[in-house]
Structures are given as C-alpha cells and as structure tokens.
Amino acid sequence: MNAAASPFHAGELAIQERVGVREQMAGAAAFIRDHMPAQHREFFQSLPFFFLGALDAAGQPWATMLAADAGFIVSPDARTLDFNGGMLPGDPLQGQLHAGAHVGGLGLEPTTRRRNRVNGEIVSTDNGVLRIAITQSFGNCPQYIQHRQHSPAPDDGHAVQVLRAGKLSDADRALIARADTFFIASANMASDAGRGRGVDVSHRGGRPGFVRVDDDQTLTSPEFVGNYFFNTMGNLLTSPRAGLLFIDFESGDMLHLAVEAEIIWDGPQLQAFVGAEKLLRFHVREVVRNVGALPFRWTAPQPAMQVARTGNWTEADSVQSAAALVKGWRSFAVADVVRESDGVRSFYLEPADGAGVAPHVPGQFISLRVPAWADEGVAPQIRSYTISDAPNGRQYRISVKRDGVVSAWLHQHLAPGALVELMGPGGEFTFEEGTQRPVVMLSAGIGITPMIAMLNGLLVNGSRTRHKHPIWFVHGARSRSEHAFAAHLDALAAGHNNLHLHTRYSSQDGHIDMVMLKELLPFDDYDFYLCGPAAFMQAMYDGLRKLNVADARIRFEAFGPASLRRDAGRVAKQAVTEPASGPVEIRFERSGVDATWDGKHSSLLELAEASGVEAPSGCRSGLCGSCAAGLAGGDVSYTRSCGTEPEAGQVLLCSVVPRAGSGALTLAL
C-alpha cells in the first residue's frame, strides 16, 4: 500500500509489517471512512457519555469522558458531530479545546458492548458547542468490553474535588490495581503522517489486575489481540506521550494520567502473561484525580468472554517464578476430568505445591511420573504427554488415549483431587512464529493434541487469528466416536475463515495418504506439521519429501515411540560439534548386543531400539531423564542442551552420539 494513500501512518504500517499483517490490512483500509454511516450517527446521538482524546497546549495527550444527558451529541450531517457541553469540572482538557485542534472520539455502550470510533478536527466552539469535522470513522468489535449498567449519581451536594500530583497516591494505585478497564489517548502530529495524522482514543479491558502498578510512577499493561490497525501502538512508536483514564465506577472518580510509554516486544514478563501480544510500560508524569466528578454510577461488571483466556499480573508473576522449576518433579492435583471421545480423556492439572504453572508454548509437553502399583506388578513409569491447550496461566491440560498400561492406570486412578508428579514443560514442536506461509497440520489418532493446542493459541476470541494465512487441518481417526475434540474443531472452523478442516475416518474412507493431500491442497508453498503413530508420520514425511517439500518445512512431534527417520540430508544438517565421522563399534553390555554407529540414526537411543535393545525413554528431548544409561567406555557428544543433568557416569541416550576419536563405546544396557 502506498503510504500517502493509506489511512495508516508510517508508525502503524511499521507495526503491521513487524507482526506480518500489513498486506492483509491493506484491504481493511476500506473500513476507515471519511464520513459516519447513518447507524453510527444514530448511535452517537443516543449516548449520555463519550470518550475523547486531545492534546493540551504543551502537546500532551489526555483521555477523558464527556458526560451529560442523552442527546447532548448531535450529528447535523455525515461529517459533523456537535457536543453541547459535557466537559466536567477539573478536567485537564478544560480550556484546551479550540478550533484547529485534533481530537479522537470513542462512543461506547457497555450494556451492548457496542463501540464506534471517530477522529477529526475541531472547527468551532461557538456558544459552548464543540463542533468536530470527521476525518476518520470506523466501527470496533466488542472485544474486552465489560457489561455495565449506568444510573444517575446521587446528588449529595458536594463540589467536585480536584487532586493534582506528580505521582500516584495510595488511592490511585488501589484503583488501578483493581481496574478491568481503561482508556488511552495518543497522537501522531507529524507533518508526514498523511491521512493518519491526528489524535486517537482507545479502550482497553481485561481481568482485574491486568494493569500492574510497578511503583508510584510506573505501570505495565498487556496488549491483547485486537483489530490489527495498531492505532495506539503506531502512535506510540512515533510519539511516546499518552494519556490514560481510569474510572472508579462505584464512586464516580476520574483518574487522568499523563504518561510516556515504551513498547516491550519480548522477554519473560511477556511470555508469562497469558494472551499478551506485547506489553506497554507507562511512566507517569502528571496525575489529575477528579473526585466524584461523574454524574453516573455503574453496576458490577459482567466480564467480556474474551478475558477468560487472558491473565493478570498475580498469575503472570507466579508463572514467571515457576519457570525456574521446569527441571524438577512437582506435585500437581487433578482439577477435572473430561471425556473427549471413546477412549480419550482430558485431565486438568493444577499446582499442588503453592507455586504457579511454568509457561509453555502450544505444542510442548510435560512428563508424568506414575508411581508403582504393586498389586498389578507394575514398576514406576515416566511418560510424556502433550499439553493439549494453549496457556491459561492457571493449569495444564493433557488428553490421554487409553492405550497401554500407563494410560489405562491414568484413566482408572486419576479423578479430581488425585495427585501426580510432573516435570516440564519442554519440547521443540511448536508453531513457527511470524511465518508468512499457509500451514498444513496433519495428525492421526491422539496425535491431534499438539494441533489442538496450536489452533487454540492461534484462533482466538471467536473470530480473531494470530496467523492471517490459511490453515489446513487434516486429521485421521477410526470413526466419529473416536474423534477427540470434533465439536470443538467444528466451532473453530465456523468462526475462522482461514481454518479449513478435513477429517478422514479409516473405518469408512481409509487412511490419509498423499493422493488425498494432492487433491485437497491448492498449489502453494506450505509449512507442514505432523503428529501421530509412527507409520503415519513416516508415510507423510516420505511422501512430502518425494513431492520436493523442503525438509526444513516439515516439523513433527519428537517424543514418544513415533520417532521419525529423516533423510540423509537432514542428518548431515543436524551433525553436532565433533561427532564421529566414521563407523564406531557400540557394545550394549547387559543385553550382549554389538552394533555399529554409522550416522544413520539421530541418537544412541534410536540405534539401541533399531538393534533390538530394550532402552528406557520418555520425552526423547533431554528433559525427563528417563533414558539415562551408564557409559562404561568411550565418549559421546550431546546434540542439544538438555533439561536434565544425568548422574556421574551416565548419559542421556536420546541426546548423544559418539564423539569423534572416542573409539568403541560400551553402554550399560
């Protein structure tokens, strides 16, 4: 898009480019009009309050609320809004609104969660009527708006008290700490900002505690998934000054803050806060509190549905602290058990040790340590299970198919209140952030679990998507009754136009194969994600490679028995520092088996399994430590940084290969 013709200025376009949505947002420019549709005009005229952003004489943005009787806003034509009063005593914008000044406006109705935006320029203030010429008009979705009903404030005869300070008081900090809503004004008045030049005011909502008071002059707030216009973020990128408005809906206080903002793009705090795309840190420069200024009071809020999958700072701090605990075994309690299909149950696990849940990325897994149960003659076992949901900051969910001794024990013994030990999360099978390619997810059976977690992380809030390109999800199951999460997937596909859902039931149509994929997928350059039984994954991998799909474009779940043999080119790419370049003789001492390492296996664990040696394993990624084995002779090289440190004289079979020059190896297996 030509920046001069765009309604977005350079700062907004830069952030759209950074997060990979600029091309898609070019089409959204059509929704930003230079006039108000009839329904917007009618909506504004029905409101008894209106949110406004403007600059003071020093160029500082302020956010405020104009309030009066319904009808104080009039739209004489599609490009004009008139405000007959509404400015409250002590407002920091008193005396600052004059002809030629730019303003941003937001009409919001909490009871219907409806909101519409206008930006423009003041053309006159004659006879106390503020007339605004509209330059931009567009609707906003109802995300994060809390339902509240207003009523007239009691007339107690008290004059409004205005408190001014350079930092937050204890009362200010308490109001912000419990807030579920605030408003932010920002501006870009640069001469080269084109059609995007002006002031903006926006709404922010979340669970109580979503804004953290770091100290008496610093706040930190998350930025959740929005409309991808990035009006506020784009303004702050070019001009960091902003104005915040917090409202005490019970007392009618208005807390105005003049701040400077910084954008936090990454880091542990961002990773720990569920739902946050970025963080904004606000440095407070001036505080104006109008005590009891508003002529309204509001009922208790009914939270917006979108906030349920977002965090607050209490949880985020707990998650961040728990990140240091991923390498040790911890006690978790079963909070709930849900049947997902014939043979599959989901177990919701919450910390029982008083600490938080460590952060995870959709697609990662945890390892469970199942105790021995003597009456059934079973020794202690370690098994790894994918976390089958996106992070929520409070619990993990694993979804287990009853297929084997350990899974049968979980189905039989894990009821709400039961305790289990787990380690992690870990694993590298995650969605490639920022990819601009369409995606194909291929799964079979219980291999659906990482795909569900990824989809739940990408497709949010009813219709929003963090991946703007097509997602093709192809899943195989025996039958509908054995298809876990079928109803959930149907709901996702109904709400997200970029999700294309295809299922094949083997009892009716046979298995997923390359013929089906070639018929289904349009010609394009895809990223592929695989998870399922070993034979399925190998067939998909081999078939894609024969179609000249680059090895680097094929990702797969790497733990459990469904290990996959990559082609020789990939093995060479994964060669580590100082691996053995020639044949190495391997002696599995306890089993009495001799084998030769020739570089065709990715680890000594794979060589042991291929040689018929019974070798313990769990996560297969160096996290759980269950594959530790004694090294009686020779030396090894690690292929990755592992989350578990084996005991002296032991190595983690899943993560080692013979080291160059080590000579023959002897393993105590």
Per-residue pLDDT reduced to its tens digit, 317-330: 999 999 999 888 89
pLDDT at 575 over 50: no
Alpha-carbon span 13 to 228, nearest angstrom: 10
Taking only the tens place, the pLDDT of each residue in 212-246 is 999 999 999 999 998 889 999 999 999 999 999 99
pLDDT at 566 over 70: no
Q: Kindly state the average pLDDT of the residues 73-91.
A: 96
Q: Which residues belong to CATH 3.10.20.30 in the chain?
A: 574-667
Alpha-carbon span 106 to 137, nearest angstrom: 10
Instruction: Detail the DSSP E strand segments found in 404-562.
Output: 419-426, 439-444, 459-460, 464-465, 471-477, 499-505, 527-531, 554-556
Inter-CA distances, 619 with 453, 564, 608, Å: 18, 14, 16
Alpha-carbon span 104 to 117, nearest angstrom: 8
pLDDT of residue 572: 34
Instruction: Name which of 19-23, 41-45, 623-627 the model is least confident about.
Output: 623-627
Give the whole-number percent of the chain exceeding pLDDT 70. 94
pLDDT at 29 over 80: no
Inter-CA distances, 107 with 137, 199, 330, Å: 11, 15, 49
Taking only the tens place, the pLDDT of each residue in 109-148 is 999 999 999 999 999 999 999 999 999 999 988 999 999 9
pLDDT of residue 571: 37
Q: Kindly state the average pLDDT of the residues 374-401.
A: 85
Instruction: Name which of 118-127, 474-483, 659-668 the model is least confident about.
Output: 659-668
Alpha-carbon span 305 to 247, nearest angstrom: 21
When pLDDT is cut at 50, 70 and 90, the band that residue 384 belongs to is confident
Instruction: Detail the DSSP E strand segments found in 447-498.
Output: 459-460, 464-465, 471-477
> Which residues have CB under 8 Å from 607's CB, separation 6+?
586, 595, 597, 601
Q: Are 655 and 638 in contact (CB under 8 A)?
A: yes
When pLDDT is cut at 50, 70 and 90, the band that residue 268 belongs to is very high
Q: Kindly state the average pLDDT of the residues 620-646.
A: 82
> Which residues have CB under 8 Å from 478's CB, separation 6+?
505, 506, 507
Q: Could you say which DSSP state residue 431 is in?
A: -
Q: Which residues belong to CATH 2.40.30.10 in the chain?
A: 326-426
ω into 7 cis (within 30 of 0): no
Alpha-carbon span 289 to 171, nearest angstrom: 10
pLDDT of residue 534: 84
- Vertex 416, ends 415 and 418: CA angle to 5°? 70
CATH number, domain 439-564, options 3.40.50.80, 3.40.50.1100, 3.40.190.10, 3.40.50.300: 3.40.50.80
Instruction: Name which of 14-28, 539-553, 576-590 the model is least confident about.
Output: 576-590
Taking only the tens place, the pLDDT of each residue in 30-58 is 789 999 999 999 999 999 999 999 999 99
Q: Kindly state the average pLDDT of the residues 408-414.
A: 92
Q: Mean of the per-residue pLDDT values for the chain?
A: 91
Q: Are 656 and 636 in contact (CB under 8 A)?
A: yes
Q: Quickly name the fold that domain 326-426 has.
A: Elongation Factor Tu (Ef-tu); domain 3 (2.40.30)
Q: Where are the alpha helices (DSSP H) in 216-322?
A: 231-238, 268-272, 313-322
Alpha-carbon span 217 to 167, nearest angstrom: 5
Instruction: Detail the DSSP E strand segments found in 580-626.
Output: 584-588, 593-597
Q: Are 47 and 73 in contact (CB under 8 A)?
A: yes
Inter-CA distances, 50 with 32, 97, 133, 160, 553, Å: 20, 15, 16, 20, 50
- Give the CA radius of gyration of the chain: 29
Which residues are 96's β-sheet partners? none
When pLDDT is cut at 50, 70 and 90, the band that residue 352 belongs to is very high
Q: Which residues belong to CATH 3.40.50.80 in the chain?
A: 439-564
Determine which helix (DSSP H) or strand (DSSP E) holds 234, and give its type and residue range.
helix 231-238
pLDDT of residue 568: 45
Architecture of domain 574-667: Roll (3.10)
Alpha-carbon span 3 to 291, nearest angstrom: 44
pLDDT of residue 378: 60
Q: Which of 316, 76, 52, 336 is nearest to 199 (CA)?
A: 52
Alpha-carbon span 391 to 397, nearest angstrom: 9
SS3 of residue 368 by DSSP:
strand
* Centroid of chain to Cα 477: 28
pLDDT at 265 over 90: yes
Alpha-carbon span 600 to 585, nearest angstrom: 14
Q: Which residues belong to CATH 2.30.110.10 in the chain?
A: 10-314
Instruction: Name which of 184-193, 399-408, 439-448, 468-477 the model is least confident about.
Output: 399-408
* Centroid of chain to Cα 602: 32
Alpha-carbon span 546 to 567, nearest angstrom: 11
pLDDT of residue 569: 42
Residue 307, token pair as written in the block: 């906030």
Instruction: Name which of 213-222, 246-255, 379-388 the model is least confident about.
Output: 379-388
Alpha-carbon span 431 to 451, nearest angstrom: 9
pLDDT of residue 461: 85
Angle, helices 231-238/10-18, rounded to nearest 10 degrees: 110
Alpha-carbon span 636 to 628, nearest angstrom: 13
Alpha-carbon span 469 to 499, nearest angstrom: 9
Determine which helix (DSSP H) or strand (DSSP E) holds 409, and give its type and residue range.
helix 405-413
Give the whole-number percent of the chain exceeding pLDDT 90. 73
Architecture of domain 10-314: Roll (2.30)
Q: Kindly state the average pLDDT of the residues 95-111.
A: 97
Alpha-carbon span 621 to 425, nearest angstrom: 11
pLDDT of residue 6: 82
pLDDT at 640 over 90: no
Inter-CA distances, 336 with 361, 417, 457, 610, 634, Å: 22, 8, 21, 39, 48
Q: Kindly state the average pLDDT of the residues 66-79.
A: 96
